[in-house]
Amino acid sequence: MIEYVVPTNIDDRILARAARVLDGGGLAALPTDTSWTLACSLNSPPGIKKLKSLSGERDERHFTLLCSGIAQFGELCSIDNSRFRLIKRLSPGPYVFILKTLPGTEKSLDIRRREAGVRIPDHPVPLKLIETLGSPLYSITAKRSMVQNAEREISGTAEGDAELPPIPEEDLFEAGWELEDIEGVDIILDGGEDRERIFSTVLDLSGGDLRLLRLGAGPWPA
């Protein structure tokens, strides 16, 4: 179901409807400052399970916690002053930061790693939905390989690998209506604008030294 919205003035009733979908274990397709993303509620185990099943990804670094501010990062991950300053300088924007998780975060996300990717997108639709929902979103980039009957390659990147492979441009969506072909998406919030087929830059801050895992829309060094 597509809900057309004005990104700078989103109808509160649509936001409330989308929040109810997510609270009930559903998935939403959202525009971001990069490409389209699929998201569920951080507080919905059925939604997280559904998102992982749909994505087919085994490498958990492909998943991202979308937050509305750095304060939400601190509820889930460990951030010292130097990491805080870097994240503040680059956020909101097309950057995912891999951080060490706090106790309990891995269990709530059902992940094996003690790290999670976090991001503040520079787009009003996910930010307003997070505000309405009252918690972060758990998300992954929407890809054409998720469409039913499409050939799907399961990513099997081993733990400890330094880089994440770039997402081929042709595997990304531009228009919101295209995501109706993804079985399992319950609501699409479409601002009417086509998205660029670009992905985020991923920076690993979980260790002693910063590592660039994937270069995307965000320039690095920045």
48-90 residue pLDDT tens: 999 999 988 777 778 999 999 999 988 889 999 999 999 999 9
Domain ranges of the chain: 2-214
- Contacts of residue 197, defined as CB under 8 A and 6 or more positions apart, other chains included, come to 35, 169, 170, 172, 173, 174
Q: With contact defined as beta carbons under 8 Å apart, do 35 and 172 qualify?
A: yes
Which fold does the domain 2-214 belong to in CATH? Answer: DHBP synthase (3.90.870)
Handedness of CA 141, 144, 149, 154 (dihedral sign): negative
- Measured distance CA(78)–CA(101) in Å, rounded: 6
| Summary mean pLDDT of the chain | 90
Other residues' Cβ atoms within 10 Å of the Cβ of residue 67: 26
85-137 residue pLDDT tens: 999 999 999 999 999 998 888 777 877 778 899 999 999 999 999 999 999 99
Single-letter code of the amino acid located at 104: G
133-145 residue pLDDT tens: 999 999 999 999 9
Burial pattern 94-114, b for ≥16 Cβ within 10 A else e, equals bbbbbbbbeeebbeebebebe
Q: Is the peptide bond before 221 cis (omega within 30 degrees of 0)?
A: yes
The owner of tokens 């601002």 is 191
* pLDDT the model gives residue 1: 87
